[in-house]
Chains A and B, each alone.
Chain A
Amino acid sequence: MEDRERASFEELALPLLDSLYRYAQWLTRDRTEAEDLVQEAYLKGIRGFESFVAGSNIRAWMFRIVRNTFLTSRTGLRAVPPLSVDEQPELVDQIADEATPESHFLQRANAQALRRAIEELPVEFREVLLLCDAEGMSYKEIAETLSIPMGTVTSRLLRARQKIRKALAHEER
């Protein structure tokens, strides 16, 4: 790779370092592994930069590299169950007329309990939550990053949040 190309890769990809590290950390839940994962992803990024289409979404591209690298790692193979988490009925519940006991409980939930609840989520739910809430990605960008349909993004987010609410409600009791 020429210096000029490397410089343009770094210009685009280095600002994503914090985000990619956080993503790697939430995938692996281990700082050392996360650092190795991100380093490997950048190396792959540099090597594959020629295949990156200028003007397309570098963020989705780099997140995808981190994810694919994770999935083929030992931790990744252990973390992702062979059965899809998406094989669940869709949630179409309507808002009830009376206020539910769960509403506004997040105001009372402490950050540690929330962290625990997120950590306990299956990795597919954890990552979709991070991309949406922490990274502010649109459903379309998440779908592109994770190579899943938009409908799956919606249902994974619903289920992730439902699980968190349940975990926090359980903790309160």
Chain B
Amino acid sequence: MNQHLTIEDVQRIADGESQPADHVRDCVQCANAILDALQMKRAVRDVMRTERAPASLLRRVRRQPPATSWFAAAAAIAAIVIGSAMLFRQQSPSALVELADMHVTLLASANPVDVLSTDRHTVKPWFEGRVPFAVPVPELASTPFRLIGGRVVYWRGNQAAYMLIGKNAHRISLFVFREDFGPKRLGAAPAAVSTLTWQRGGLTFIAIGDVAEADLVELRDAFAEY
């Protein structure tokens, strides 16, 4: 082949998609064109490959929640709860609605708990020094519930211990306040989730979840036996 290469031929050779034709061995112009294309590729690569993913992104990606049905369920109820919460808020602020908002927000978060453990012997000591009271964490093995983990949350400037508890595909948020720092008036209950509040040992417990109220009563009993 004595004809010069086309620009497309040059590109394909530089990109490793085809082999140079014999013509290139004897043709300075075509050889130069390939060299030029290779130089350009290298320059483009150097410019486009400078950045690396920040370490924070690796952490974010690793913390992605698993694709379990509860997550989808939480996402599905989020719109309903937030919608109804906003409706309530327009009328009067309600402690229960605010906590229900927090429940939904935490479930939708990539990192709903800071201590991820089903073991009460891990979660209970984790709260020590983080909240100004001893947090009761009962053994749930003989109940339909299971502990998922915990974290510290703030409601209107007051610390609360937060425990995420599972029942099948459902999730229950349990907020534990020191009685004198917890909500004095609970206000209207959110429409889309069940809530149950009880007091025990100088603490206020508020359970919120997309479960039947009877389930929350059962959970309360599990805590009462502790």
Interface residues, chain A, with chain B CB atoms under 8 Å away:
1, 6, 10, 14, 17-18, 20-22, 25-26, 35, 38-39, 42-43, 46-47, 90-99, 103-104, 106-107, 109, 111, 114-115, 118, 129-130, 132-134, 138-139, 154, 157-158, 161, 164-165
The chain B residue sitting closest to A26, CB to CB, is B48
The chain A residue sitting closest to B16, CB to CB, is A138
Which of B62-70, B88-96, B155-163 sits within the interface?
B62-70
B36-A94 in contact (CB<8A): no
Considering only residues 135-157 of chain B, those with a C-beta below 8 Å from chain A are none
Interface residues, chain B, with chain A CB atoms under 8 Å away:
3-8, 10-12, 15-17, 29-30, 32-33, 36-37, 39-41, 43-49, 51-54, 56-58, 60-62, 64-68
Minimum Cβ distance to chain A for residue B156 (Å)? 30
- With A1-B68, A18-B53, A94-B6 as known contacts, state yes or no: A138 contacts B17, CB within 8 Å: yes
A21-B57 in contact (CB<8A): yes
B30-A95 in contact (CB<8A): yes
A14-B7 in contact (CB<8A): no
Contact partner of A114 (CB less than 8 A), chosen from B33, B43, B57, is: B43
A21-B7 in contact (CB<8A): no
B40-A164 in contact (CB<8A): yes
Q: How many contacts between A and B, using CB within 8 angstroms? A: 127
The chain B residue sitting closest to A102, CB to CB, is B36
- With A39-B61, A43-B64, A95-B30 as known contacts, state yes or no: A133 contacts B53, CB within 8 Å: no
Besides the contacts A21-B51, A98-B29, what 9 more A-B pairs have beta carbons closer than 8 Å?
Answer: A14-B61, A21-B52, A22-B48, A42-B64, A95-B5, A103-B33, A106-B39, A134-B49, A164-B44
B33-A106 in contact (CB<8A): no
CA of A115 to CA of B60 in the docked complex: distance in angstroms? 29
CA of A115 to CA of B46 in the docked complex: distance in angstroms? 10
- With A1-B68, A106-B39, A158-B11 as known contacts, state yes or no: A96 contacts B57, CB within 8 Å: no
A99-B29 in contact (CB<8A): yes
Contacts of B32 in A (CB 8 A): 99, 103-104
**17 residue pairs from A and B, CB less than 8 Å apart:** A17-B61, A35-B54, A38-B61, A43-B65, A46-B66, A93-B6, A95-B4, A95-B5, A95-B10, A95-B30, A106-B36, A106-B40, A107-B39, A118-B44, A132-B41, A158-B7, A158-B11
